[in-house]
Structure 1
Amino acid sequence: MESLVEDVGGWGRFQWFMVGTIKWGMMPIAWSMMQMAFAGLVPDWWCLPDSPLNSSHGNWSRDNNTYQVCKIPGSGGQSCDGHVVFDTSVRTVVNEWSLVCDLKYVKSMMTSLQMGGVLIGALMSGQVADTFGRRLTVYVTLLCHCTTSLVAAFSVTWQMFIVMRVLIGVTLGVYLVASFSYPIEFVSPKYRQVVAFLPGWSAGVSIFALTAWLAPNWSYVHIGSAVLGVPYLFTWFVIPESFRWLATKGRLDEAEAVLERVARINGRAKPRDVRKRLQQVAEEERRTGQGRRYTYLDVYRGWRMAVTTLVLNGVWFSLSFCYYGISFGVTGLSGNIYLNIFLMTLVEIPPNFSTIFLANRLGRRWTCLIFFTLCSVSSFGILVVNETVSAGSKGVATTVLAMVSKLAVGAAWLGVLTFTSELYPTVIRNLGYGASNTVSRVGGALAPVLLNMDTTEEVVRGYIVVGSLMAASGAACLLLRETKGQALQDSISVKVNTDEVEDEKKADWGSNGDVIGGDKAGPVWTVTGDKVKAEGLEVNGIVSVRL
């Protein structure tokens, strides 16, 4: 398959257009993911029982004894319910439904339930994309995202809003998984990191910060997210299905047509033996997979495969927990919240260049280790600053180190995105990617609750946790095999000697997708246990094994 990609153009006009289009679709997704950083903002508020609820906040200060108190001053403990006056310069869900005092818990619950929806979406995505195709999954998901975002903008109760945020979260989870593996299947190994590099996510969050600043109303921001995704839907008519997925499903005519189209757009001639090579992939999948539907169990099958997947699960959990903990904790930093969100996102873009360079020079593992280490050091640096720097400079120093941590964890995640997709064959690539993405959403859901950073003390404690998790993740990456420059596998295939079934620990991937032995062994995808019963087609003294 890799030779076919090179023949039709491993990185040409088609790939630029396709990857750019997918990254365009990522912008409203990123926007929605970060919505609660603004929508959950708590505006200044006062308990004013003797004043009309539409009173201006301008005559009151934070030093007033009515500022953010839940009991009416001098009332003997009477609740302030129904007497809360908010700063009206910003409109968030907090002042929309008075989510303070007894309802204070609702804000963090909204974010956690949204991330729970992302988890559900990520869990669904692998199975859906591998069953129904990458293209249909990506476009239907974005259509659903636009619809749910628009409905959320007109929520009439906070309960309705929570339901819509969960549904939005599901669409986010599905898109984040399916949209990454999709374009990677069209590019050559040298350019896979570019797919992760193009800053669709960063652009989306930056536009979100600008929009929230210009129109500080949670409803308008939701409408903007929906509108941003609508033009993307029309690219359905020009972006084709993955030819790799089509080939593994035996839909050879469609796969051949896609390759012919890619070659034409890239100014290449159609490969003469394209049908033959596609037939080989279909035959291999038919022989090894017997047309069965793969499940998440397949990415944990065999001890080495299980170790690889479990390591990735742990790394993804840590990345998500730390990334969203830092992102949603931006309100605890000094300075303007809109500027902080914008800068926190902007600092992620420059490291993207170094990620591409390092990943292609040093390899995926060492690139990830470098950025994990940088994040860990800068996070622990916040503790040092808190203990040693004067109060006047502490806020600025903490914000700078927080931004370094954010850029490092973002760069590490970019490296891990590509790394994860390269470790799985086409037939279970979305399942493998989806398994880790699903686990990461558990981290994302827990982050707003366990990594709450609304105060200075909570910020310091939070970054100690971030530093520890990033250090552990960097060490864990060294347990994974290097994939730099290696061909993507398309089917699950294992070959063993007929005289003696080798222990799976001695197996290795060959250039054609088969296991041939050696020290550079990758995960063995289908062996369960140390010994297996050989079944299948015998070729030159070895047999293909189907389990």
Structure 2
Amino acid sequence: MSYSSKLEHLIEGLGGCGLMQKLICIIIHSSTIVIVWSVLAMSFIGYDPGFKCHILDVKFSSLSVLNLSEMSTNRLCSVGRNATCSAYAFHDKMNTAVSEYGSICSRQDKIVNQVVGDRISSTSYILYHATSSWNLVCDRRWIVAFITSIQMVGDAVGAIVAGQMADAAGRKPAMLTGITAMVLFNFVGYFTQSWQIYSVVRFFIGVGVGISFTVQFTQMIEFVPSPWRPFVVCFPSEPLSSMLYALVSWWLHDWKRIHLLKTLIGVFILTTLCFVPESFRWLISKKKFEHAERSISSLATVNGVPKPDVKEIFDTAATDINKTSKATTVFAMYTAWYCMSLGMESISVDIYLTIFLINLVDLPAFSVTGPLVNRFGRKKYCFVVCGVSSILMCVSGILQHFDKISRPSMSLAVAALAVSLLAKMTVTTASIALIIYTTEIYPTVVRSIGYGFQSTVGRLGAVAAPLLIHLDGRIPGLMYFTCGVLIFLSAGSIARLKETKGVTLPDSISDTK
């Protein structure tokens, strides 16, 4: 019997998916709250709630040609070259009491109606979003895409670090490092006073996200038997956390309070993670047999089963290395997923409702992927779903383009929204299947390095996503159509990979040949 087969039998002897394994999965899936909220933060923090010109700087020589009485200040950036808006007033659609110019019930609201020299100021303003705090509109709107891309660069760096750290120091230290980084810099974000410093904060939050997201699935699947691995990965913690974020954003309605809440939740999750044992698969692969035996003993004690004899497994432990790659498909999927998750303004009527809906459709995606990959296999399922998602993305892009350039049509808008939601669901389905596929192909000794490499390539797509979102504002539908083409072109790389359905989780290079 091979070394990997012995480990599979050991897991079954420890109770299979017993109480301890369930507790480990609950704790790690709970960490998704901080991870997902940190990823989606800019969808609310960088949201443009609508604005009016608060102060219009006008050159004296141009006063004779400006009809000030008939001028609308709604989304007014400038009037030719002679009048430029230097301050803005932002709307708040979630407040029930509003004036002609915006909310009047916030403690931060301020009503000003005055003319001073050549400056015209009229309206109210609030500071719930970073957009309104730092006037990230008009010629400064690019800053939102820049901050989001900086976060995704940190995400990519975190994925690189995670792979090396998790395979060198262990899964648990890497996970604790990632959550600690998010807790620390979300707390720093609460006190940030400028967008430049906030960009640095979001970079390090991204590093924490990249580390945690790369390690969490590896850490879980190494504790459970083969039939349970898809279900462990497919538990819908991400869409549930995303929908909860929409509700919390609507409730708190203040980006700094959200930072503080993430910090408090993160501290609680850090405390619970301290009780999660290290992966005994990793410990054995590194010949840390004493620590591995303690980890196995803790599982046996909590699950209420006798401690199995592990001497034979320790004697046959292997240390070989293998690498596999399907980075192009991962890049395309991550680009599409982040574009749709962060670029909600392309289909948005109400930002909070859209955040909720765009993640609600992920629930069926998570629910069906586990049973379906077990029935049809990882390879076939990934290939088919990638094809379907590419078609839906292209159709959605075409519908959005005609919806924006033609006369307003309710039926066309509803069709674009429906197809966009279906596209998001299929992209999520394909992404989950790829996570299962990737973690099963790599052996234990380099599983985190391999998955970290795939995640890094995927995060490059996440870096590109804000730029595509920005371009989509100028060319409606471009973002969805581009992502659809990328997925279609990359799906062929899946055909070169071997099927992993029903295969023992490899622990060394000899198991992958």
TM-score bracket, normalised by the shorter chain, equals 0.7 to 0.9
How many angstroms apart in 1 are the aligned matches of 2:228 and 2:310? 22
Residue 100 of structure 2: aligned partner: none
How far the C-alpha of 1:249 sits from its partner, in A, is 1.8
CA contact (8 A) 1:325 1:452 kept: no
Distance in 1, matches of 2:507 and 2:476, equals 45
Partner of 1:44: 50
Amino acid aligned to 1:462? M
Whichever residue aligns with residue 37 of structure 1, its letter is S
Residues 99-151 of structure 1: CA deviation (Å, up to 9, x unaligned): 22332221110000000000100011100111111011111221221111011
CA–CA separation in structure 2 for the residues paired with 1:465 and 1:237:
43
Gaps of 5+ in 1: 52-62, 290-297, 300-307, 494-512, 514-521, 525-547
Q: Which of 186, 199, 216 pairs up with 2:223?
A: 186
Q: Is 1:316–1:437's contact at 8 Å kept on the other side of the alignment?
A: yes
Deviation at 1:13, TM superposition (A): 1.3
Matched, 1:13 2:35: no
| SS of structure 1 residue aligned to 2:477 | helix
Q: Distance in 1 between matches of 2:378 and 2:41?
A: 31
For residue 266 of structure 1, report the CA deviation from its aligned partner: 2.3
Aligned length: 458
**What corresponds to 1:65 in structure 2?**
72
Aligned to 2:88: 84
> Does the C-alpha gap of structure 1 residues 487 and 391 become closer, same or farther in structure 2, counting only changes over 3 Å?
same
User: Cα gap change, 1:201/1:334 in structure 2, threshold over 3 Å: closer, same or farther?
Assistant: closer
Match of 1:277 among 313, 318, 325: 313
SS in 2 for 1:452: helix
Q: Distance in 1 between matches of 2:277 and 2:432?
A: 25
Q: Which amino acid counterpart does residue 232 of structure 2 have in structure 1? A: V
Cα deviation 1:311-337 (Å, max 9, x = unaligned): x21111101100011111111114211
Question: Aligned with 1:230: secondary structure?
Answer: helix
* Amino acid corresponding to residue 302 of structure 2 in structure 1: I
Distance 1:216 1:90 in 2: 10
Q: Report % sequence identity.
A: 31
Residue 48 of structure 1 aligns to a residue whose secondary structure is: strand
TM-score (norm 2): 0.85
Matched position secondary structure for 1:80 = strand
What amino acid maps onto 2:8 in structure 1? E
Q: What residue identity is the alignment partner of 2:166? A: A
The one-letter amino acid paired with 1:275 is: K
- Structure 1 stretches of 4+ with a deviation exceeding 3 A read 383-390, 451-455
Q: Is the 8 A contact 2:36 2:242 kept in 1?
A: yes
How many Å apart are 1:209 and its aligned residue?
0.8
Q: Which amino acid is the alignment partner of residue 494 of structure 2?
A: C
Q: Aligned partner of 2:226: which letter? A: P
For residues 71 and 139 of structure 2, what CA distance do their matches in structure 1 show?
A: 21
Root-mean-square deviation (CA), in Å?
2.1
Cα deviation 1:281-339 (Å, max 9, x = unaligned): 1xx22xx57xxxxxxxx63xxxxxxxx41xx2111110110001111111111421111
Q: Is the 8 A contact 1:26 1:200 kept in 2?
A: yes
Q: Equivalents in 2 of 1:368, 1:85: separation in Å?
A: 47
Q: Is the 8 A contact 2:177 2:211 kept in 1?
A: no
Q: 1:240 aligns with which of 277, 280, 283?
A: 277
1:468 partner amino acid: V
Q: 1:135 aligns with which of 147, 172, 186?
A: 172
Q: Residues 331 and 454 of structure 1 are in contact (CA less than 8 Å); yes or no, is this contact kept in structure 2?
A: no
Q: Is residue 2:425 matched to residue 1:407?
A: yes
Partner of residue 31, structure 1: 37
Counterparts of 1:105-124 in structure 2, within 5 Å, are: 105-124=142-161
Match of 2:339 in 1: 325
Question: Is 2:175–2:212's contact at 8 Å kept on the other side of the alignment?
Answer: yes
- Does the CA contact (< 8 Å) of 1:152 and 1:222 recur in 2? yes
Query: Structure 1 residue 263: deviation in Å?
Result: 2.2
Partner residue, 1:448: 466
> Would you say the 8 A contact 1:20–1:198 is kept in 2?
no
Question: Distance between the aligned counterparts of 1:314 and 1:12, measured in 2?
Answer: 37
- Assess if the C-alpha contact under 8 Å between 1:329 and 1:453 holds in 2: no
Matches within 5 A, 1:297-336: 299=323, 308-309=324-325, 312-336=326-350
Q: Tell me which of 198, 209, 213 is aligned to 1:172.
A: 209
1: distance between equivalents of 2:191 and 2:388?
Answer: 43
Deviation at 1:466, TM superposition (A): 2.0
Q: 2:493 aligns with which of 476, 479, 488?
A: 476
Structure 2 regions of 5+ residues with no counterpart? 1-6, 58-69, 92-124
**Which amino acid letter does the alignment assign opposite residue 86 of structure 1?**
F
Q: Does 1:488 align with 2:505?
A: yes
Matches within 5 A, 1:456-535: 458-493=475-510, 513=511, 522=512
d(CA) in 2 for partners of 1:248, 1:376: 39
Partner of 2:107: none
Q: CA deviation at 1:4?
A: 1.1
Q: Which amino acid aligns with 2:152?
A: M
Q: Equivalents in 2 of 1:409, 1:252: separation in Å?
A: 41
SS in structure 2 of the partner of residue 228 of structure 1: helix
Partner of 1:257: 294
Specify the SS of the correspondent of 2:496: coil
Distance 2:195 2:396 in 1: 36
Give, in angstroms, the shift of residue 191 of structure 1: 0.8
Question: Aligned with 2:85: secondary structure?
Answer: coil
Question: Alignment partner for residue 96 of structure 1, among 133, 144, 150?
Answer: 133
Give CA deviations for 1:27-73 in whole Å, capped at 9, x if unaligned: 1100110100110111222223379xxxxxxxxxxx963222222x4
Task: Return the alpha-carbon distance in structure 1 between the equivalents of residues 328 and 13 of structure 2.
Answer: 37
- The answer to which of 376-385 and 346-355 deviates more is 376-385
Question: Structure 1 residues 267 and 105 mapped into 2: Cα distance closer, same or farther (>3 Å)?
Answer: same
Post-superposition offset of 1:96: 0.4
Local SS of the residue matching 1:156? coil
Change (3 A) 1:9 1:314: same
Could you say which residue in structure 2 is the equivalent of 1:198?
Answer: 235
Q: Residue 125 in 1 paired to residue 162 in 2?
A: yes
Contact 1:138 1:178 in 2 (8 A): yes
Alignment correspondent of 1:230: 267
**Aligned partners of 2:423, 2:265: CA distance in 1, in Å?**
29
Letter of the 1:473 counterpart: S
Indicate yes or no: 2:378 matched with 1:378.
no
Match of 1:345 in 2: 359
Cα distance change of structure 1 residues 334 and 140 upon mapping to structure 2, 3 Å threshold:
closer
Tell me which of 456, 471, 475 is aligned to 1:438: 456
